[in-house]
Amino acid sequence: MSRATVGKLAAYEDAGGEGFTPEGEAVVYLGAAGGERAAAIARQATSVLAVEKSPVAGLRLVERAKAQADLVPVVGDARQPEAYGPLVPELGLLVQDVAQPDQVEIFLDNADRFQPERGYLAVKARSIAVDRPPEQVFDRARERVAEEAAVREIVSLDPHHEDHVMIVADFDGASP
C-alpha cells in the first residue's frame, strides 16, 4: 500500500498502537477532508460528526454523507466548536487530523467542550514548527495534552506519515 493511502488511524494501528475501536461510540472527527475515512468509521460507530473547513473538500464530504445517515457533515472551522456544538451527542471519541500550527489547542478546546472519553490527536510536527526537531515538538505537544488529560500513548506514524505522531489521551475522569 502506498504511503498516501494509509490514513493516520491506520498508520497508528500499523505502528503497534493499542487500537481504535469506534464500535458503539459517537465520534467527532475534525479535519475530515472529503470524508472517506470518517465514512468508514461511521459504518462501525453509532455516528460520526465530521468537520471540514475547506469548502471544496467540504462539498465532497456533504455529497458523501447524503448516502450515509450516520455521517453528519459540518463545513466549518474546528476552532469554533460552538458552531457545531448543538449537533454533538454525548461523545465517546474525538479524532483530529487538521495539520495546523495550533492543532493541540484546537484538540483541547474541543475536548473541553464535548468531554469525550478518549481522544486521538494526529500531530504533524512541521505544521507546528519547521525550526525545531520533531521530537521536541512532540514532547511539547504531549506535555500540553498531559496538562488536561491522561496521555495513554504516543505513537510514531512513520513510515506512512513522516514526522507525525498519534497522541491518545483519556479524558474520562482521568485529568491529572
Ligand X SMILES: C[S@@+](CC[C@H](N)C(=O)[O-])C[C@H]1O[C@@H](n2cnc3c(N)ncnc32)[C@H](O)[C@@H]1O
* Exposure class string for 118-134: b at 16+ Cβ within 10 A, else e: bbbbbbbbebbeeeeeb
Each residue 93-132 as x (binds ligand X by CB under 6 A) or -, in order, gives ----xxxx--------------------------------
Place of cell 468508514: 40
| Closest CB to ligand X among residues 51, 154 | 51
> If residue 120 lies in a helix (H) or strand (E), which one and from where to where?
strand 118-124
- Is 54 an interacting residue with respect to ligand X (CB under 6 A)? yes
Each residue 1-20 as x (binds ligand X by CB under 6 A) or -, in order, gives ------x-------------
The answer to whether the Cα torsion of 43, 3, 110, 67 is positive or negative is negative
Residues in the chain: 176
CB of 79 to ligand X, least distance (A): 5
3-state helix, strand, coil in the chain (%, to 5): 35, 25, 40
Q: Which position among 77, 153, 163, 170 is part of the footprint of ligand X (CB under 6 A)?
A: 77
- Is 37 an interacting residue with respect to ligand X (CB under 6 A)? yes
* Residues that bind ligand X in the complex, under the rule CB under 6 A: 7, 30-33, 36-37, 51-54, 57, 77-79, 97-100
